[in-house]
Structure 1
Amino acid sequence: MRKRTIVSFLLIMVLLGASLIWISSDSVWNKKQKGTYQISYIARGKKTESWSTIEQGINQAASDLGVEITPIYLSSENNVREQISLLRREVENGADAIVIAPVNSQNMRAPIADATESIPVVTIESTVEELASLPYVGCDNYELGQELAREIIHSGGKGNKVAILQNSLGSSSIKARYQGMVEILQRNGMELFFWEIPDDPTQAYETAKILLQENTVNKAVAFDGAMLESLAKAEKDLSPPGVTTVEIYGVGRTNQVVSYVEEKVITSLCVQNEFNIGYLGVKTAVNMINGQRGENTTVNFSIVNASDMYSPENQRLLFPFVR
């Protein structure tokens, strides 16, 4: 009798243990089924409006896919040391994946390569050269630079002296836009001036204002939204009301930049589908967590001006918050 009791007790313990294992496994499975992954998004600058559309796409993807996003911005623009530290912190803290806009290609190569040994990493807007397996979501920035250069040549009538703002050239996206543009402008005999501009928007405005006053350029171009806004503001403040002395061109979107296009302070603007960059960056990260291979994804861009900014296609890029 005692032997049967012991056997029954052991059987009950085995069944109880199996039940606990099943409950634990089912809990983990349900967590993964519900998609409650922790994904960290690390920008390459401070939290400003120029990143707002990408973040909107990220948040929409988080809502659709049921993941949790930790948005992380730097304390100063293009601070590579801080971005490296934040990347390592998020890996150590147990993030399931990282979506990152690298500050620059050279310095971020080793830290990102190290991170990919532990978790999926997806680069957005900019990428890291020589990491062939690293997925990238963004536009073809070299082609973007060439198309904007053609727009400068064909749409402008003030002359052939072009000032190109130089900042953040360590970023692969900015560098590719710069290279694409310079190639086309030089090929077409434009006279180029290269202006070194600080990364901080306030300092960029003051520097651009001085350079616009000191030089006799006909056109000026910036390669990201914050710099473009600073350049356009400087031009507007220097010019008589309703008059643009220097034609302004550039890449990137903020509400003020859109307003400057409407006012014709900015002659032409190149805007990429930033909402899709954010959305597809998160989607790619989730796919990689689930064992799929990370693929490069190229998004569209468009060149707009005051005459066509309200076309249905361009409205979706310029006013992404109204969907």
Structure 2
Amino acid sequence: MKNNKKMFFLTETLLAVMVIAVAFIMVRERNGKEQDKISVIIQDSEDTQWAAFQYGLKMAAEDMDVRMFIVSTGSTLTAEEEKSLIEREIDNGADAIIVQPVPGSEEMLWKMGNRVPVMLIGNAASEEGEESLLPVVGPDNYALGAVLAEELLKDYNGNLSGKTLGIFSKTGDSRASIERRRGFTDAMEHTDASISWSAAAPFSEEGEALLDSQPAVDLVIALDDNSLTMAGEYAAANNLHGALVYGIGNSTEAVYYLDTGIVGCLVVPDEFNVGYQSLKEAAESLTHYLHKMQDRTVSYNVIRRDNLFSRENQEIIFTMSQ
């Protein structure tokens, strides 16, 4: 008799859970016309370096049938400012957040992830060598730095004897910048390259003064799009003392400097897919309740002046101009 009562109780409990689940799904479907909202927070949101990324976001938002909102930000962003923006977006109805982490934001972002799904783009919020507490969509930053070094060495047949190099980054304390610099210098370790200086501006500050104050070198290595376009601008005005620029970039300005011969080689991370995959992962976490957002590593392309107009590269440049 006791076993029968226990079985009856378990059956009733299971049926009650199923009824609640079905009711929840029916309510969800009834309200299905109201799209989920995903807010995106990046530094200097109007900068052209984000064109391909934002195009990817828009395409994914259409495919996933969600509302996507890009928060307007200035040229610098601190961890405290980022926290305020995220809180404001959650208060304004954001169901998920896509964010470019700033240095020192890891614990804050992890706490925000307990309120809504949070997807990082570009790099993790953790310290170098530590695993990220949140999923990340972006390129392999170490590989970007290494391939940039490899392309430079190709152009000089592996012999950089007598050549001086300067390394420049406008996001110097970000994990992405640190890993790119490490990838580049590791690849140069057993060569005769002479690195004269390495200038890095903190993530939340401008880097123009740093570039102004550096001694003349033969080659400037730019580790991010803003660094590359600034170096290109300086070179165009003859303020780099004839230095050739090699770098990582993803804007039409970066391509322009490559086309005019100021930049010798451009390594381009697939920012379109950073946007598309990050929004797709965030949207799926909202529509599929058991879906756990995953890290996604996007590819990169090496673009040179002589292959600028290949079909593949023209497709990449198209995403930068949207």
Distance 1:162 1:201, change over 3 A: farther
1:308 is matched with 307
Q: CA deviation at 1:229?
A: 0.5
Per-residue CA deviations over 1:96-143 (Å, capped at 9, x if unaligned) read 111111122xx1111111011111111111222245452111111101
1:224 is matched with 224
Q: CA deviation at 1:29?
A: 1.9
Distance in 2 of aligned mates of 1:307 and 1:31: 54
Contact 2:102 2:125 in 1 (8 A): no
Q: Mean alpha-carbon deviation: is it higher for 87-96 or for 298-307?
A: 87-96
Contact 1:272 1:300 in 2 (8 A): yes
Contact 2:173 2:202 in 1 (8 A): no
Distance in 2 of aligned mates of 1:201 and 1:228: 17
Q: CA deviation at 1:239?
A: 7.0
Partner amino acid, structure 2, of 1:172: R
Q: CA deviation at 1:26?
A: 4.8
1:234 is matched with 234
3-state SS, counterpart of residue 266 of structure 2: strand
Distance in 2 of aligned mates of 1:196 and 1:216: 13
Distance 1:202 1:132, change over 3 A: closer
1:247 is matched with 244
2:265 is matched with 268
Listed as ranges, the gaps of 5+ residues in structure 1 are: 1-21
2:120 is matched with 123
Contact 1:252 1:269 in 2 (8 A): yes
Distance in 2 of aligned mates of 1:231 and 1:38: 38
The reply to whether residue 147 of structure 1 matches residue 144 of structure 2 is: no
Q: CA deviation at 1:315?
A: 2.0
Contact 1:209 1:238 in 2 (8 A): no
1:65 is matched with 64
Contact 1:206 1:234 in 2 (8 A): no
Identity of aligned residues (%): 24
Matches within 5 A, 1:139-218: 139-156=139-156, 159-196=162-199, 198=201, 204-205=207-208, 207-211=210-214, 215-218=215-218
Contact 1:202 1:230 in 2 (8 A): no
Distance in 2 of aligned mates of 1:72 and 1:123: 15
Partner amino acid, structure 1, of 2:142: Y
Distance in 2 of aligned mates of 1:64 and 1:284: 12
Distance in 2 of aligned mates of 1:322 and 1:76: 20
**Paired residues, number:** 293
2:13 is matched with none
Distance 1:96 1:48, change over 3 A: same
TM-score of the superposed pair, with normalisation by structure 1: 0.81
Distance 1:200 1:133, change over 3 A: closer
Contact 1:100 1:124 in 2 (8 A): yes
Distance in 2 of aligned mates of 1:191 and 1:160: 6
Distance 1:25 1:153, change over 3 A: closer
Contact 2:171 2:200 in 1 (8 A): no
Matches within 5 A, 1:74-93: 74-93=73-92
The reply to whether residue 113 of structure 1 matches residue 121 of structure 2 is: no
Contact 2:167 2:220 in 1 (8 A): yes
Q: CA deviation at 1:295?
A: 1.1
Partner amino acid, structure 1, of 2:277: L
Distance in 2 of aligned mates of 1:38 and 1:247: 45
Listed as ranges, the gaps of 5+ residues in structure 2 are: 1-21
Over aligned residues, Cα RMSD in angstroms? 2.8
Q: CA deviation at 1:58?
A: 0.6
Partner amino acid, structure 1, of 2:168: L
2:35 is matched with 36
2:278 is matched with 281
Partner amino acid, structure 2, of 1:183: D
3-state SS, counterpart of residue 298 of structure 1: strand
3-state SS, counterpart of residue 187 of structure 1: coil
Distance in 1 of aligned mates of 2:315 and 2:184: 25
Distance 1:316 1:26, change over 3 A: same
3-state SS, counterpart of residue 217 of structure 1: coil
Contact 2:95 2:117 in 1 (8 A): yes
Per-residue CA deviations over 1:52-87 (Å, capped at 9, x if unaligned) read 211111111112211111211432324322112112
Partner amino acid, structure 2, of 1:76: S
